[in-house]
């Protein structure tokens, strides 16, 4: 077994998390990444930058997000107590905006007037369009042509916010292809463009930078849990698509060894069905989108299409730091199916009056499995990464309801 | 001496430029790849760059993306590309073949197995777009140990330090990407290439090929004035796309002949 160092200090200066991460891009992108690296180092060591980031998180996003004891739900499950970190209460309705604010401030520091982003369901696109409007930047969002059709409401939201949405017709016409296209735009327009990646993937420094911006989630929990519950949780549970909300809540807990970290992937129609999006638990290591990590790929090394009821988890890769936390056994990775996620979605609606995002419902579903196996004095902290308003159509359709 | 090195040596002796066309293996159809390779040689190619199709060609523009998608729909894989090279070698023992592609199919096969199989098939060089020097020291060393040349890219923005890194780890030739952006995009800046190339050639001590954005005989000739080799990709793929199936091979050969003729008008060594 490989063990994570203590204190945990990853990535190394070249962006490696053990064998994962790194900078697997064409030569043409190297100078842009060097420039970004230097700018991000300058920003994160600059107290004025960090103060502005915190100011924006407080006054624009509405942080800190509260922690809520889901008591009725916990009682109905009859075991451990479940606490929810309420990222769904952020402006724009999910954790994504934390990272967008951070990167937009770095873009401004670098003097880049134009930001681009990739998006799957449209959540990261909406968050990017939002901060671009807030800071007066031009914004172009790449979105797979299939996703543009499926997510009409979010496409309209982005347009309302002044962004240009470009449908991507190449490959499988989904999130991974949107990421490819955003990279191509970036390499062509490096002089005036900043690429805001939406998760802890991509070439170094993105996995580290996005994690650092999202780590505000876990840092708040470290303070809030003792206030709420008198101690730190026994388990921290988060869904894993690219892995940003999970890294955000895990990272500050990595050096707290008694806290179990559990990442929940999308098993879709079941891990054995082949129709899932579980890169860590169902994939193998490889190289995609600038880093080495676990991927869903064919025997020939072609990236394969994924399936999940939740568009935000529908990605064939995963952030390289999760690959490392898996191999080093600091975090555990599990999965739940579409059906299990839907059941947790409905339970939270009925018992707590909270409509969770389908992505977050995966984390909830695993908590619902784990809680009854544990005594009542155990504490599970679930990252409720977003709200479910965007998922009304999907859930209604599953229930046979047409608007 | 590797097959690539001896090609450059004999070209230098006769004051000519290397013509390096690119096609994607399996496009438009797997059975046309080997005939296309022979047609490239008959048209005047000195080295062939053969694209290994990948599902996520992040550094390629629309033309090569489409070629890659067609090839994958045709059931291509890295294994099949190697079989095509072996087939090509049964009738051509001299023209170097450089595989160009992305890291993941190679990692999926396993680096050791790939290098062994590539060398058996008669591959001469390998250019992996998303393996910059810092991420592929072992891979490059494994290639070299089997007599294969690891080929690297340099860009207008590459620093002196990177030019030195590439010189250390690469061999065969250097591929200078003549513009910012992806394959097939935009117009190239002759003055920029002319200004940068002497420094790059001096820094790497290897022949330098220029590619990305060369679309016709005239732009090839102008680049040939300053470079050791001219690489043409997207324009040839377009020729394939726009030809009826049964004419693709002949039309690609005719196009390459035109470029060859223009390159051979150049007098003397690269400036
Ligand atoms: C609410 C919510 N949670 C989770 C995710 C998955 O992303 P990540 O794994 O990067 O947190 C998304 C992505 O769109 C999302 O919208």
pLDDT of residue B188: 75
Q: Among positive and negative, which fits the CA dihedral A20, A23, A26, A29?
A: positive
Q: Which residues of chain B have pLDDT under 70?
A: 185-187
* CB-ligand 1 contact for A139 (6 Å cutoff): no
Cα separation, A141 vs A186, whole angstroms: 12
pLDDT of residue A337 exceeding 60: yes
| Ligand 1 atom with the shortest distance to the CA of A313 | 6
- Pick the residue whose CA is nearest to atom 12 on ligand 1: A312
Contacts of A27 in chain B (CB under 8 A): 132, 152-155, 158, 162, 177
Cα separation, A290 vs B209, whole angstroms: 25
pLDDT of residue A319: 98
pLDDT of residue A49 exceeding 70: yes
Contacts of B153 in chain A (CB under 8 A): 26-28
Angle at A214 between CA A213 and CA A220, to 5 degrees: 110
pLDDT per residue as tens digits for the range B144-161: 999 999 999 998 888 899
pLDDT per residue as tens digits for the range A138-180: 999 999 998 898 888 999 999 999 999 999 999 889 899 999 9
Helices B78-89 and B111-121 pack at an angle, to 10 degrees, of 20
Contacts of B150 (CB under 8 A, 6+ apart): B125, B126, B127, B136, B139, B140, B143, B144, B169, B170, B171, B172
Contacts of B107 in chain A (CB under 8 A): 285-287, 301
Assigned token pair, A182: 């955003």
Residue A283 Cα, gap to closest chain B Cα (Å): 12
Pocket test residue of A88, A95, A389 for ligand 1, highest count of atoms within 8 A of CB: A95
Q: Is A326 a catalytic residue?
A: no
Q: Is B134 a catalytic residue?
A: no
Q: What's the whole-model pTM score?
A: 0.97
pLDDT per residue as tens digits for the range A67-99: 999 999 999 999 999 999 999 999 999 999 999
Q: Is A299 a catalytic residue?
A: no
Q: 3-state DSSP call for residue B266?
A: coil
pLDDT of residue A2 exceeding 60: no
pLDDT of residue B187: 66
Cross-strand pairs, B208: B174
Contacts of A28 in chain B (CB under 8 A): 59, 153, 155, 157, 177, 180-181
Interface contact A302-B105, CB threshold 8 A: yes
ipTM field: 0.96
- Pick the residue whose CA is nearest to atom 1 on ligand 1: A386
The single residue of A56, A65, A74, A96 carrying the catalytic annotation is A96
Distance of CA A119 to the CA centre of its chain: 12
Question: Average pLDDT for residues A195-214, to the nearest whole number?
Answer: 98
pLDDT per residue as tens digits for the range A105-146: 999 999 999 999 999 989 999 999 999 999 999 999 999 998
pLDDT of residue A1 exceeding 50: no
Closest residue, chain B, to A24 (C-alpha): B130
Would you give the DSSP letter of residue A386? B
* CB-ligand 1 contact for A241 (6 Å cutoff): yes
A297 contacts B104 by C-beta, under 8 angstroms: yes
Interface contact B55-A302, CB threshold 8 A: yes
Interface contact B135-A300, CB threshold 8 A: no
Residue the block writes with tokens 């999308």: A266
Interface contact A171-B157, CB threshold 8 A: no
Chains A and B form CB pairs within 8 A to the count of: 121
pLDDT per residue as tens digits for the range B165-208: 999 999 999 999 877 777 776 667 888 899 999 889 999 999 99
- Among residues A368, A334, A340, the alpha carbon closest in space to that of A352 is found at A368
């Amino acid at each position: 077994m490989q063990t994570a160092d203590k204190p945990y200090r990853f990535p190394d200066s070249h962006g490696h998390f053990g064998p994962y991460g790194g900078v697997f891009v064409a030569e043409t992108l190297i100078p842009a990444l060097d420039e970004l690296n230097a700018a991000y180092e300058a920003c994160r060591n600059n107290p004025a930058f960090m103060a502005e980031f915190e100011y924006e998180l407080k006054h624009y996003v509405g942080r800190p997000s509260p922690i809520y004891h889901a008591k009725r739900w916990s009682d109905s499950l009859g075991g451990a107590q479940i606490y929810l970190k309420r990222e769904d209460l952020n402006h724009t309705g999910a954790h994504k905006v934390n990272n967008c604010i951070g990167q937009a401030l770095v873009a401004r520091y670098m003097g880049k007037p134009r930001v681009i982003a990739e998006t799957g369901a449209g959540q990261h696109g909406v968050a990017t369009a939002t901060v671009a409007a807030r800071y007066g930047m031009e914004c172009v969002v790449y979105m797979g042509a299939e996703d543009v059709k499926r997510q009409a409401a979010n496409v309209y939201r982005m347009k309302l916010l002044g962004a240009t949405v470009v449908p991507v017709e190449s490959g499988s016409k989904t999130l991974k292809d949107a990421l490819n296209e955003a990279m191509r735009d970036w390499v062509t327009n490096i002089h005036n463009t900043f690429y805001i990646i939406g998760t802890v993937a991509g070439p170094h420094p993105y996995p580290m930078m996005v994690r650092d911006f999202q780590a505000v989630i876990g840092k708040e929990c470290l303070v809030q849990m003792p206030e709420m519950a008198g101690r730190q949780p026994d388990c921290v549970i988060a869904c894993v698509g690219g892995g940003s909300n999970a890294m955000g809540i895990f990272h500050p807990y990595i050096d707290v060894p008694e806290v179990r970290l559990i990442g929940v992937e999308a098993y879709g129609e079941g891990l054995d069905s082949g129709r899932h999006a579980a890169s860590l638990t169902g994939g193998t290591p490889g190289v995609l989108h600038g880093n080495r990590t676990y991927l869903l790929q064919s025997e020939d090394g072609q990236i394969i299409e994924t399936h999940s009821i939740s568009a935000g988890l529908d990605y064939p890769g995963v952030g390289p730091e999760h690959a490392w936390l898996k191999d080093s056994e600091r975090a555990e990775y599990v999965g739940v199916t579409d059906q299990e996620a839907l059941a947790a979605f409905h339970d939270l609606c009925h018992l707590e009056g909270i409509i969770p995002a389908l992505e977050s419902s995966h984390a909830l579903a695993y908590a619902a499995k784990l809680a009854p196996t544990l005594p009542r004095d155990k504490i599970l902290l679930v990252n409720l990464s977003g709200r479910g308003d965007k998922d009304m159509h999907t859930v209604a359709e599953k229930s046979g309801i047409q608007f | 001496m590797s097959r690539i090195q001896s090609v450059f040596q004999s070209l230098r002796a006769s004051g000519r430029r290397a013509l390096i066309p690119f096609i994607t293996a399996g496009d438009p159809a797997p059975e046309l790849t080997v005939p296309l390779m022979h047609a490239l040689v008959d048209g005047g190619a000195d080295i062939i760059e053969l694209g290994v199709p990948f599902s996520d060609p992040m550094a390629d523009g629309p033309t090569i993306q489409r070629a890659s998608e067609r090839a994958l729909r045709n059931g291509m894989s890295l294994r099949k590309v190697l079989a095509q090279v072996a087939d090509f070698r049964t009738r051509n023992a001299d023209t170097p073949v450089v595989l160009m592609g992305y890291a993941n199919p190679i990692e999926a096969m396993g680096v050791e197995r790939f290098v062994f199989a590539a060398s058996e098939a008669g591959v001469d060089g390998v250019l992996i777009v998303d393996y910059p020097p810092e991420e592929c020291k072992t891979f490059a060393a494994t290639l070299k140990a089997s007599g294969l040349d690891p080929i690297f890219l340099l860009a207008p923005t590459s620093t002196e330090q990177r030019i030195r890194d590439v010189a250390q780890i690469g061999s065969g030739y250097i591929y200078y990407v003549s513009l910012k952006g992806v394959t097939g995009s935009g117009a190239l800046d002759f003055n920029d290439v002319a200004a940068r190339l002497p420094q790059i050639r001096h820094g790497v001590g290897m022949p330098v090929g220029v590619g990305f954005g060369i679309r016709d005989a005239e732009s090839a000739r102008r680049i040939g004035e300053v470079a050791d080799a001219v690489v043409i990709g997207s324009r040839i793929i377009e020729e394939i796309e726009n030809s009826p199936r049964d004419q693709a091979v002949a039309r690609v050969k005719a196009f390459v002949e035109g470029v060859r003729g223009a390159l051979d008008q150049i007098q003397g060594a690269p400036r």
